[in-house]
Amino acid sequence: MAEFSKQWCEIHDETGIGSDFDIHEIADGLPNEHYTSIICEGFGFVAVAKDINGNILLAFPVEPEEGEDPLEEGMTQVLWKSYEEVVK
């Protein structure tokens, strides 16, 4: 079942499917420099984190470049983006 954040639904949901979680509520429960895995099918991220200053970060999966060593099985390489960069 697909999961969508409140923030994605506020911007994109014209069908009224409703949200499954709120990025801000998730981040409020995290200490700085920690993350939790949660998938937002709408934005495409796989984790929510807070940096050393308490800023919200979102992790997007990336495929290794050709010729790069793959990560250990079950691990996902991610690109961290700021909340403001994603939620516009």
70-83 pLDDT per residue, tens? 666 666 789 999 99
Instruction: Give the pairing of strands 78-82 and 34-40.
Output: unpaired
Is-contact 8 43, C-beta < 8 A?
yes
Q: Rounded to an integer, what distance in angstroms lies between the CA atom of residue 44 and that of residue 11?
A: 14
Q: Rounded to an integer, what distance in angstroms lies between the CA atom of residue 29 and that of residue 74?
A: 26
Is-contact 84 78, C-beta < 8 A?
no
Q: What is the pLDDT of residue 16?
A: 76
Model pTM score: 0.85
